[in-house]
Amino acid sequence: MTTQAPHMDRVLGRLDVIAVAFGAMIGFGWIVLTGDFLNNAGTLGAAMAFIVGGVVVAFVALTYAELVAAVPKAGGAHAYVLRAMGSRPSFFCSWALVLGYASVVAFEAVALPQTLLYIWPDMLAGKLWSVAGYDVYLTWVAAGVVAAIVMTWINVIGVRPAAVFQTIAVLFLAGVGVTLIVGAFVGGSTENMQPMWNGGVAGFMAVLVATPFMYVGFDVVPQSAEEIQLPYRKIGEVLLLSVFLAIAWYVMVMVTTSSSMHAVDLAKSNLATADAMTKMFGHPAWGTLLVLGGIAGILTSWNGFLIGASRLVYALGRSGMLPAWFGQVHPKYRTPANALIFIGALSLLAPFFGRRAMVWLVDAGGLAIVVAWLMVGIAFILLRRREPELARPFRTPGGVATGVTAVVLAAAMAVMFLPFAPAALTPPEWVIVGLWGLASLALVRRIPRVPGGPDAEERLVAITSPAAQTSADRSTESV
């Protein structure tokens, strides 16, 4: 009699899924970057850039919405590309996403202590060293490391506690958003919103190029598809709803913040939205409240990407692309504990590199995520062509044309990272991408070439499973 291996529990409901996706998209950037956005493009220009950027991301989300309903497996993109293109393209896509998601998790481990400085400006003590011109302090590092351990542990002990934590933080974040709207009416002025347009096309593009990375996060939902307790069609619908909620959030932040003071003054602030809240209500306590909202955004993004990254690593381990240790489920907590510990360990390193690491991680991870989006779009098109009979509880309007649009837009985003482009990576960021790429080349050599198809994962597991390898070894010995 064989004992069935533990599996993950299907416990995530509609509100949980919305909280995970929306919370992952609303991170920390809206606290620190809004002043620059308004100064570059003006109130209406910045708002329009987020609307246009949101539409771009919505096309990518539409491909995910159909695929997550048709192929509801942990790892999401890993399963789609494996079915459409085979084992090695699937690994490259998944490995790129792991870099993207892990970089956001690590970013939040740096962003949290940086945000705490607004509340406790005297917290810095015990200088360790300097990185890229920024001093790194022991207390600063400790705040990030302790938070990383706590966040990882919350996820290890169960996806339900992680989802409850996410929901509470998102509700607090929503309350901060309502306060911002009230503040605009109480202490804001339409005169401060001038100029509505600034910087012409260049100003608009400067904001637009940043929007995809402000919206990254909706795609963590497909990675945990095996834990979602919803009809498959509803998963796609909820995913799209989270994207539209994020668009509304960022447009709201642009408009309300711009009403507080002139864009030139906002651009000089380290935490523009917090200073805007202080100005609107006339007391620094309100700015502190908004910073607490920023901390909630950090934690929801951290939690969401920790869920997404760990499920990807789990899927890679389960399919044999990574060692089987990564594909194990904790017998008690029913979570991919080993994968979570791996991602958590990576995030522990980030605070030791100081504040500058935030920029390096987001930019390098952004390119990786866009490349994965591109591959998912291609997988969407191929599966529409090759498997028209595949059950699709959610069918994306426009079909292949929508998929082609998503691929073209994702490719355009990827070009922006190349040298001489608006969002060109810096040398340290290319080092991160290069090292991760070299690791992928080393790892992919151990992955057998398995063509795509409905049973691609089963064929891959049959080859890479310990039993199959033991059998192969015995055959070799007998020869």
Question: In this structure, what CATH number is given to the domain that contains residue 204?
Answer: 1.20.1740.10
| 469 is a domain residue | no
245 pLDDT band, cuts 50/70/90, is: very high
Average of per-residue pLDDT values in the chain:
84
The pLDDT of residue 352 is above 60: yes
* Residue 389 burial (10 A CB sphere; 0-12, 13-18, 19+): exposed
The pLDDT of residue 453 is above 50: yes
**What average pLDDT does this structure show over 145-152?**
91
The span from the CA of 414 to the CA of 373, in Å, is: 10
| 472 is a domain residue | no
How many domains, in total, are found in the chain?
1
| 7 is a domain residue | no
Tokens of 32: 């620190």
**What average pLDDT does this structure show over 80-95?**
92
Maximum pairwise Cα distance, the chain: 85
**What average pLDDT does this structure show over 327-348?**
88
| 458 is a domain residue | no
**What average pLDDT does this structure show over 236-263?**
88
423 pLDDT band, cuts 50/70/90, is: low
| 475 is a domain residue | no
* Residue 157 burial (10 A CB sphere; 0-12, 13-18, 19+): middle
Query: Which structural domain, as residue segments, surrounds residue 115?
Result: 14-452
145 pLDDT band, cuts 50/70/90, is: very high
Closest CA to 253 of 276, 269, 280: 276
Supply the pLDDT for residue 50: 92
| 1 is a domain residue | no
| 201 is a domain residue | yes
The pLDDT of residue 475 is above 70: no
Kindly tell me the sign of the dihedral angle through the C-alpha atoms of 357, 362, 368, 369.
Answer: positive
466 pLDDT band, cuts 50/70/90, is: low
Supply the pLDDT for residue 470: 44
| 304 is a domain residue | yes
The pLDDT of residue 473 is above 80: no
The pLDDT of residue 357 is above 80: no
**What average pLDDT does this structure show over 75-89?**
90
Supply the pLDDT for residue 477: 41
